[in-house]
């Protein structure tokens, strides 16, 4: 096998593997190095997202939502179930199968695009050389014309709380529970806390979520986070804001979590503790001396707006660089870099990156919140439409939530769209496309939406921005 490649990608997650595939499509010779190892020691491409993030979490969310709906919603449809039960082992087996299928699929895609997969550690040396250490310790020095760093991120640890991989776990551990904990605590009411907290809550765990900030979901539109908090409370997620965790200690009756809040010092005793307080860039043993690549004070690889590092022909994409830690953001960066390498146009529109929280109801948004638009000095007009007024949502027994559109009052340009409700993560795609083309609310108003669909809620929200909604009174 050649030790020389046009492009070497270090990291085979959702930022790295698309970069490798696109480079292959661009007729470049490409190797993709990835060191991921599963608990059983097997190697797998796909990074955090496919192995221990997006995909397994969504598999668990799907299974547990079905169970929740069977308990709480089926009766309204006339579906009665005696002896409903849940089999955690079956859920975990299904999830493992989905993960396996997804990660093995990458090897097939690599084959199709002519990408050489290398499992082991990659380290960038000076002169566009990469030291590759296979899992058995064998070393080779590879030569590249371009290197793409896509080494991702890892869970942020919390001082005073040591992971033991069993009772005190990170998000990966929380995806692997073999049984439902009776008492569960999640530290961090962010995306992971809400998604994985929901999974285990739906199966009956008494779930407390401790959040350091006083405000719930501060990154979301204020109305959205208020509506979300109401639903989570109804579902029994006990979210405690302003809770500063000091330490977690293992004792015979469980994990003792010590925290302070407005009322003073508190202790919570639980069977399992999940720490989900954010992630940090992962660049361990990545950069040899004189690699020429700089890290910032938080450990992110420093790049410009085109994902170029300070060293010639070395690029970096995904969670290891600035910007939201989202799989789709990394994917677009990876593709754009592989195109830029061959002189093609590559673009990532950082202003139009959708966010989705896959809880029930789902939460999704793109662009500016009402608060952000106003703080930026924009005169805004707002249109909202509740799913309770959507025929399709009512037919689905899913009338919770709303669509909200924020547009510039003068130019009518859409500044942001915020959805909480059924299939919000799918509905947001239309909003992303609209904003990608700088659409106005009138553009959405004049676009025909099939009836009866959930997407009509977005159409009506656009109409409501001009007080011309049909299916709700305009105020």
Positions that interact with ligand NAD (CB under 6 A): 158, 187-193, 195, 210-213, 245, 276-279, 324-326, 356-358
Site for ligand FAD in 107-126 (CB under 6 A): 121-122
147 binds ligand FAD (CB under 6 A): no
From the list 29-37, 68-76, 377-385, 445-453, the region that binds ligand FAD by CB under 6 A is 29-37
**Complete DSSP assignment for 383-398:** EEEEGGG-HHHHHTT-
Cβ closest to ligand FAD, residue 16 vs residue 254: 16
Separation in Å, CA 465 to CA 250, 393, 444, 462: 54, 21, 11, 5
Contacts of 62 (CB under 8 A, 6+ apart): none
Cβ atoms 150, 13 nearer than 8 A: yes
Cβ closest to ligand FAD, residue 15 vs residue 255: 15
Cβ closest to ligand FAD, residue 283 vs residue 369: 283
Cβ closest to ligand FAD, residue 20 vs residue 461: 20
Cβ atoms 43, 36 nearer than 8 A: yes
d(CA 410, CA 377): 12
Q: Which residues pair with 434 in a beta bridge?
A: none
The minimum distance between CB 156 and ligand NAD, in angstroms, equals: 7
Cβ atoms 333, 321 nearer than 8 A: yes
The catalytically annotated residue of 121, 306, 451, 459 is 451
Closest CA to 62 of 94, 99, 103, 102: 94
254 binds ligand FAD (CB under 6 A): no
- What does the per-residue mask of binding to ligand FAD show for 182-221, with x meaning CB under 6 A? ----------x-----------------------------
The listed partner (ligand FAD, ligand NAD, none) that binds 328, CB under 5 to 8 Å by sort, is ligand FAD
The listed partner (ligand FAD, ligand NAD, none) that binds 212, CB under 5 to 8 Å by sort, is ligand NAD
268 binds ligand FAD (CB under 6 A): no
The listed partner (ligand FAD, ligand NAD, none) that binds 318, CB under 5 to 8 Å by sort, is ligand FAD
Q: Which residues pair with 439 in a beta bridge?
A: none
- What 374-378 contacts at long range (C-beta under 8 Å, 24+ apart), as own/partner pairs, is 378/408, 378/409, 378/415
The listed partner (ligand NAD, ligand FAD, none) that binds 35, CB under 5 to 8 Å by sort, is ligand FAD
Give the number of other Cβ atoms within 10 Å of residue 161's Cβ: 19
449 belongs to the catalytic site: no
Our measurement of the distance from residue 462's CA atom to the centroid of its chain's CA atoms, rounded to an integer in Å, reads 27
14 binds ligand FAD (CB under 6 A): yes
Cβ atoms 389, 453 nearer than 8 A: no
In the chain, what is the straight-line distance between the N-terminal and C-terminal CA atoms, in Å?
A: 70
Residues that bind ligand FAD (CB under 6 A): 10-16, 33-36, 47-49, 53-54, 57, 121-122, 150-153, 171, 192, 282, 286, 318-319, 325-328, 330
Return the active site residues. Answer: 451
């Amino acid at each position: 096998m050649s030790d020389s490649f046009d492009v070497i990608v270090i990291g085979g997650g959702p930022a790295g593997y698309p970069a490798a595939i696109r480079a292959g499509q661009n007729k470049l010779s490409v190797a993709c190095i990835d060191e991921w190892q599963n608990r059983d020691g097997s190697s797998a491409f796909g990074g955090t997202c496919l192995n221990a993030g997006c995909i397994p979490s969504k598999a668990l969310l799907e299974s547990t939502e079905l169970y929740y709906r069977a308990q709480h919603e089926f009766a309204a449809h006339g579906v009665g179930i005696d002896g409903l039960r849940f089999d955690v082992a079956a859920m975990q087996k299904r999830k493992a199968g989905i993960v396996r299928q997804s990660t093995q699929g990458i090897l097939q895609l690599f084959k199709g695009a002519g990408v050489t997969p290398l499992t082991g550690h990659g380290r960038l040396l000076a002169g566009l050389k990469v030291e590759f250490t296979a899992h058995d310790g064998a070393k080779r020095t590879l030569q590249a014309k371009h290197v793409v760093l896509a080494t991702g991120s890892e869970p942020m640890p919390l001082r005073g709380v040591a992971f033991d991989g069993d009772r005190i776990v990170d998000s990966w551990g929380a995806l692997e529970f073999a049984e439902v904990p009776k008492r569960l605590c999640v530290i961090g009411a962010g995306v992971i806390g809400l998604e994985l907290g929901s999974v285990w809550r739906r199966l009956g765990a008494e779930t407390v979520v401790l959040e350091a900030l006083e405000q719930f979901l501060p990154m979301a539109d204020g109305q959205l986070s208020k509506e979300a908090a109401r639903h989570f409370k109804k579902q029994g997620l006990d979210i405690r804001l302003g809770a500063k965790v000091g330490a977690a200690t293992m004792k015979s009756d469980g994990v003792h979590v010590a925290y302070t809040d407005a009322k003073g010092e508190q202790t919570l005793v639980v069977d399992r503790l999940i720490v989900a307080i954010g992630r940090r860039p992962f660049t361990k043993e990545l950069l040899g001396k004189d690699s020429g690549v700089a890290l910032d004070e938080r450990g992110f690889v420093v790049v410009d707006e085109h994902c170029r590092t300070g060293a010639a022909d070395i690029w970096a994409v995904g969670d290891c660089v600035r910007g939201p830690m989202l799989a789709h953001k990394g994917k677009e960066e990876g593709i754009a870099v592989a195109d830029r390498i061959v002189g093609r146009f590559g673009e990532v529109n950082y202003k139009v990156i959708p966010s989705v929280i896959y809880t029930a109801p789902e939460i999704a948004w793109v662009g500016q919140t009402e608060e952000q638009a106003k703080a930026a000095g924009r005169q805004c007009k707002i249109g909202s439409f509740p799913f309770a007024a959507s025929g399709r949502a009512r037919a689905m027994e899913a009338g919770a939530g709303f669509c909200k559109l924020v547009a510039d009052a003068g130019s009518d340009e859409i500044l942001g769209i915020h959805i909480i409700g059924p299939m919000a993560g799918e509905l947001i795609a239309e909003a992303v496309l609209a904003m990608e083309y700088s659409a106005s609310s009138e553009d959405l108003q004049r676009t025909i939406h099939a009836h009866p669909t959930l997407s009509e809620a977005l159409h009506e929200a656009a109409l409501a921005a001009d007080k011309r909604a049909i299916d709700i009174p305009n105020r």
